[in-house]
Amino acid sequence: MTVHDMERILIIGGGFAGLNLAKKLDKNKFKVMVLDRHNFHCFPPLFYQVASSGLDASNISFPFRREFKKLRNVSYHMGHVKNIDVAGKTVETSYETIAYDRLVIAAGTTNNFFGMPDMEKKVFCMKTVAEASHTRDEILDRLERAALCKDPERRRELLSFLVVGGGPSGVEIAGAIGEMKKDILPREYPELDQSEMKITLVEGAPRVLGSMSEKCSEKARKYLESLMVEVRVNTMLKSYEDKYVTFADGTREYWETVIWNAGVQGEDMPGLPEECIARGKRIKVDRYSRVIGHEDSVMALGDIAMMVTDKYPKGHPQVAQPAIQQARLLARNLNAGSWDKEFEYNDKGSMATVGKNRAVVDLGHAFFDGWFAWAIWMLIHLISILGMRNRINVLLNWVWNYLTYSTSLRLLLRPARFPERRHWGD
């Protein structure tokens, strides 16, 4: 079969789902095109370490073209989606129009501001490498400005950090900033006093890490408090204006830096019929990952897919494992040319780290915490990163930071031009 005779599969998004699908599809049957606005795959579980100066962005990023160079049937296309023509089977991007036989949407999610769109311009996020790097710069900026500030009240304002959202990402970045307060300030910022730095994590639900066991939630809260992080549950943010946060109960407080981890929603897919879209801008799919109403030609995978089952009536967790497993099953069914196997999620457990030697792990009915859980967390994340060079760099950074509490990555880099395009539809 020549390249011209192969079925054309266009994959929107090169995250966990899109990359795994592209690599598993039969190279003799399919011509695969991967469309992504960035020219690299990245590892979102470690974005918080970029934001807290623990890792460099290049350590968790991997160029698509290097990954695809051995796959003769796969090509990379840079761009973001301008319009999807389901009837004509084309996708218009910022640079070209791509024709396909089958479309797979694996674009992932973006930040959800819950009806407060202006919040995007006022808070700092960690949904992309660029956002995590920008958040890092702002944290370092506040520390450096506070070190020069002679006014005690203004210094305390500069050192106020509010983390919104008590899921794994929120807990991890709050813990990382807590470690900076506990270990870095005394060593590298002698002008500052620990008591002047205030870190608070707020969560709208009754507990942090709500998707994990109560044991994990309770232990994570204790770990955060040991790092001098205040935890407030049943607390929702209503607005943020002129550095003042108004909470749902009417309380108004000054917070210099607000880091948003409160929720996600699917990336916009212009042109996709509205009847395909579910709550949270997720795309309705059946048990084979086929978009309902367009089963012959359109599929969706990962965080953006809403697959309803008896066990997961609100869709599967928006984490890496469901995305990877869905991609592998879809590749199997497409390679076989039949839809004979439905998706069944194999939950391998959940984990979160709250600083050095502090982590919580749920593995089925087993619960681990402390140093052993932290070691499990490190091992699983290390082997999940693409590329041996990246793994070695990450390991060396972790070992060095563990032994010395020091890193050469606390560099304040502030690009003045070319702000990131955040949405597929820009």
- Residue position matching structure tokens 């935890």: 231
Collapsing DSSP states into helix, strand and coil, what is residue 86? coil
Q: What are phi and psi of 314, to 5 degrees?
A: -105, 15
Is the Cβ–Cβ distance between 133 and 126 less than 8 Å? no
The DSSP 8-state label assigned to residue 287 in this structure reads T
Burial of 43 (0-12, 13-18, 19+ CB in 10 A): buried
Selected catalytic residue, list 67, 131, 172, 179:
172
**What residue type is 186 in one-letter code?**
P
Asked if residues 15 and 322 have their Cβ atoms less than 8 Å apart, the reply is no
141 exposure class (CB count in 10 Å sphere: 0-12, 13-18, 19+): middle
Please say whether the dihedral angle defined by the alpha carbons of residues 145, 148, 153 and 154, taken in this order, is positive or negative.
negative
- Catalytic-residue membership of 172: yes
Please provide the DSSP assignment of 110-154 as one string.
EE--TT-GGGGGTSB--SSHHHHHHHHHHHHHHHHHHHH---HHH
Residue 241, beta-bridge partner list: 244
The length of the chain, given as a count of residues: 426
Residue 229 in contact with residue 202, Cβ under 8 Å?
A: no
> CA dihedral defined by 221, 110, 8, 86, rounded to 10 degrees?
130
Residue 121 to residue 130: CA distance in whole angstroms? 15
Contact 238, 248 (CB under 8 A): yes
The DSSP annotation for 156-201 comes to HHHTEEEEE--SHHHHHHHHHHHHIIIIIHHHH-TTS-GGG-EEEE
Q: Is there a contact between 178 and 355 (Cβ–Cβ < 8 Å)?
A: yes
Give me the active site residues, please. 172
